Amino acid sequence: MEMPAPNAAILSRKTQIVERLRTVLPADAVIADAAETRAYECDALTAYRCPPMAAVLPANTAEVAAVLKICHEEGVPVVPRGSGTSLAGGALPTADCVILGVSKMNAVLETDYENRFIRVQTGRTNLSVTGAVEEEDFFYAPDPSSQLACAIAGNVAMNSGGAHCLKYGVTTNNLLGVTMVTMDGEVMELGGAHLDAGGLDLLGVICGSEGQLGVVTEATLRILRKPEGARPVLMGFDSNETAGACVSDIIKAGILPVAIEFMDRPIIEICENFAKAGYPQCEALLIVEVEGSDAEIDDQLSRISAIARTHNPVELRESTSAAESAAIWLGRKSAFGAVGQVADYMCLDGTIPVSTLPRVLKGIEALSEQYGLKVGNVFHAGDGNMHPLIMFDANKPGDLELCEAMGADILRLCVEVGGCLTGEHGVGIEKRDLMGDQYTPQDLAAQMAVKDVFDPAWLLNPAKVFPLDSSQQHRIAAE
């Protein structure tokens, strides 16, 4: 993955730049020692590493503004970092950049149950937002699988999703407002505890902008009362087509489950060997979860099971208790870990129209044979968000490159059938060079025009999202 060559003029001024940063932050919040900056050399896309020139850990919005003002004046690129759990390389540094980490900013600023919102500093982790309100039986809905570690800052930057977005939506649907600092150090408020924008929906474009438009320091988030209960049904089918048709029939019947998860045979086998969840050996498994009171859950599950029966399931198991629910979820929740036990893997997250599922799975199978790499599929089937896991051997020379090439082909297939490159992980560097497969030069120019407006000097996370050749003119014009 190509990154722009570091700017030698910036590197030569490192001492002076670090000194300036130390005038606005406490001594321990500016990290410039080569041994210590190594801690920030990568995010969860660990194949790519590059220690930053320096890292700063501001404690509040004013400190963020002060840092950005200095970096703006010095012409230093800034890469914002939440918890560093990005699978797309969204927080990958360049050698001439300052990493701006929000990990010290994790306070709850305001909790309001009547108006159903919480305002937090964005270094707070996703799960601890729910942790702050669960005493009152409330929760924050978006639940990316890294929720124990990932920060709200990163969730906002990537517009993170999760397993339950079929009912609750993704980050952008649960984000009411932000405090944001632009690259020149100006602090602004977008949205708030009220709904919708009075003017242009700038909040909507900030969410998912991958830290390229501003640094979001505080966020106002919708909190919801927890449902009375939730239980899944597990169903096994003898073909992917049948499982896909069943998903479509459930939705057409007017039932809106909170989650529909799909696993294919390779994943079922690996998970079963690892977690011993008692899954049937079959071509496709669905886990469909619904919410409500016990009686409401029974009503929905019986309707879903009736639909499933018309597709001749090889297994149909409605949960009737918390223990049975846990058993059904056990395999799915351990899927990534289970695959990690048998191989190195790369996790893609292209989204497809649900109706094209059989075609896409066949295409992936063909690519798997062509490249000689095994693939398993776990999939948020309700919303079409695929997670093909390509298994490879990181110690085998050339295997990573082979895996990346195959991943690119899978994502091109997703685009070809009417889907997209990334459903919830973001573009980062990982999918950057595939953007031209989904968008025309005009489509990309429109997006880059937004960056020109928010960050005219192209200093915020500049080498991400857009193919380097297409962003080059913008970056050069900014210098």
Partner 1 sequence: MADVMLRPVDEADLAHAISSADGPLRITGGGTRTLVHVAGTPLDTSGLTGMELYEPGAMTLVVRAGTPLAEVEALLATENQRLAFEPPNFAPVLGRPGQSTIGGVVAANASGPRRLQAGACRDAMLGVRFVDGAGTIIKNGGRVMKNVTGYDLVKLLSGSNGTLGVLSEVSLKVLPTPEAEATLIFEGQTVSAAVDTLCDAMGTPFDVTGAAYVAAGKKTAIRVEGLSASVTYRQAELQRGVAAGFEVLEGASSAALWADIRDLAPFVGRTGDLWRASMKPTDAPGLIGALDDAGIGHDAILDWSGGLVSLLVTDGRRAGGELIRAHVAACGGHATCLRGDHRAYPPQSPGVARLEAGLRARFDPRGILNPGLMEA
Residues in 96-115 at the binding interface with partner 1, rule: CB under 8 A: 112-115
Provide the b/e sequence for 175-211 (b: ≥16 CB within 10 Å): bbbbbbbbbbbebeebbeeeeeeeeeebbbbbbbbbb
* Burial grade of 409 (CB within 10 A; 0-12, 13-18, 19 or more): middle
Q: Which stretch binds partner 1 (CB under 8 A): 21-29, 42-50, 368-376, 379-387?
A: 379-387
Residue 418, CA distances (Å) to 159, 160, 353 in order: 21, 21, 7
377 touches partner 1 by CB under 8 A: no
239 touches partner 1 by CB under 8 A: no
Tokens of 342: 């048998």
DSSP 374-390: -EEEEEETTTTEEEEEE
Contact with partner 1 (CB under 8 A): which of 4, 6, 169, 467? 169
Q: Which of residues 171-200 bind partner 1 (CB under 8 A)?
A: 172-173, 182, 186-190, 192-200
449 touches partner 1 by CB under 8 A: yes
Q: Which stretch binds partner 1 (CB under 8 A): 6-14, 72-80, 101-109, 167-175?
A: 167-175
Tokens of 361: 């799975």
* Shortest distance, position 85 Cβ to partner 1, whole Å: 15
* Shortest distance, position 52 Cβ to partner 1, whole Å: 24
Q: Which of residues 111-150 bind partner 1 (CB under 8 A)?
A: 112-116, 137-138
Contact with partner 1 (CB under 8 A): which of 179, 209, 377, 471? 209
Which amino acid, one-letter code, is at 60?
A: N
Separation of alpha carbons 221 and 218, rounded Å: 10
Q: Is 317 left (phi over 0), alpha (psi -120 to 50) or beta?
A: beta
* Shortest distance, position 434 Cβ to partner 1, whole Å: 9
Number of neighbouring beta carbons within 10 Å of residue 64: 29
90 touches partner 1 by CB under 8 A: no
Contact with partner 1 (CB under 8 A): which of 13, 81, 231, 431? 431
Contacts of 397 (CB under 8 A, 6+ apart): none
Residue 37 or 422 with smaller CB distance to partner 1:
422
Q: Which stretch binds partner 1 (CB under 8 A): 5-13, 66-74, 79-87, 437-445?
A: 437-445
Q: Which stretch binds partner 1 (CB under 8 A): 26-34, 122-130, 166-174, 329-337?
A: 166-174
Q: Write the binding mask 326 to 355 for partner 1: x where contact by CB under 8 A, - elsewhere.
A: -------------------------xxxxx
Contact with partner 1 (CB under 8 A): which of 156, 207, 267, 328? 207
Q: Which stretch binds partner 1 (CB under 8 A): 275-283, 323-331, 363-371, 412-420?
A: 412-420
DSSP 8-class letter at 351: B
Strand 78-81 and strand 98-101: the pairing is parallel
Binding residues for partner 1, rule CB under 8 A, total 97
* Shortest distance, position 449 Cβ to partner 1, whole Å: 4
4 touches partner 1 by CB under 8 A: no
CA 431 to chain centroid: 13
Nearest C-alpha neighbor of 139 from the set 154, 127, 125: 127
Separation of alpha carbons 420 and 413, rounded Å: 9
